[in-house]
Amino acid sequence: MSVISMLGFVIAQAEQSTISYLQTKFVEGGLFMWPILACLVIGLGFSFAKLYTLIRASTNTKKFIVDVKNALNKGGLEEAKRLCENTRGPIASVFHAGLLRADEGIEAAEKAIMTYGAIEMGFLERGMIYISTFITLAPMLGFTGTVQGMIQSFDAIKEAAQMSPGIVAGGISVALLTTLFGLVVAMILQAFYNIFISRIDKIVADMEESSIELIDTLYDMSTEE
């Protein structure tokens, strides 16, 4: 048997042992392990959906601003509007809202940009509250499961009519599994949440900076006329 084959066999055995160990501990954790698992699955579902949304919302802002300026110089407002319509993302939507009102003056365009920017920011943040809820709920369920396990442990001591270290240690060990699982779930979802918040902040900052640049461009065009 080659070294690579032996290494693959060892890794496969280790993975199988790890999965078997986790399954055993999950069952030992009791009833509260299931709602915590549900928090993980549903929370990851919202996280992947938000990840997809933010990927689609991402735009090469600098290139897009240059393209809009070129469109304004070559084809005027109509050409720039078409470019925004054919570009996905919140920045293009905000630009399009401003360009639609550009004929009414700079103030009207600026007001439209501010209004639509607030709407787009709400869209970007949509769903984050659900992830935050599961981040909070998972460890709370874990603590509740631990309390229940401690109660069961003391009930076992009472029924045994003696203070056995084995009974106490075993009961506490099982009870703490729900807390551990709840904290792990919360940490996983918190990592996603922090990444999303950072990404949303960057998109909003790009939106604000590019909107100011668009207003300046429209102002320069109006003064030239």
* Count of C-beta atoms within a 10 Å radius of residue 61: 18
pTM: predicted TM-score of the whole model, two decimal places: 0.81
Res 150: pLDDT: 81
Tokens 């949509």 locate to: 126
* Residue 68 clears pLDDT 80, i.e. is over it: yes
pLDDT, tens only, 167-178: 666 667 777 889
pLDDT, tens only, 187-198: 999 999 999 999
Res 181: pLDDT: 93
Question: Which of these, 83, 35, 31, 36, lies nearest to 59 by C-alpha position?
Answer: 83
* Count of C-beta atoms within a 10 Å radius of residue 197: 14
Domain boundaries, given as residue ranges, for the chain: 1-30, 31-224
Average pLDDT value for residue range 9-20: 60
Rounded Cα–Cα distance for residues 165 and 77 (Å): 80
User: Where residue 3 falls among pLDDT bands split at 50, 70, 90?
Assistant: very low
Provide long-range contacts, Cβ within 8 A and 24+ apart, for 44-48.
Answer: 44/188, 44/189, 44/192, 46/127, 46/130, 46/131, 46/134, 47/131, 47/189, 47/192, 47/193, 47/196
At residue 8, what are phi and psi to the nearest 5 degrees?
Answer: -65, -40
- C-alpha count within 13 angstroms, C-beta hemisphere, residue 114: 6
Are 200 and 54 in contact by the 8 Å Cβ rule? The answer is yes
Res 57: pLDDT: 86
What proportions of the chain, in percent to the nearest 5, are helix, strand and coil? 90, 0, 10
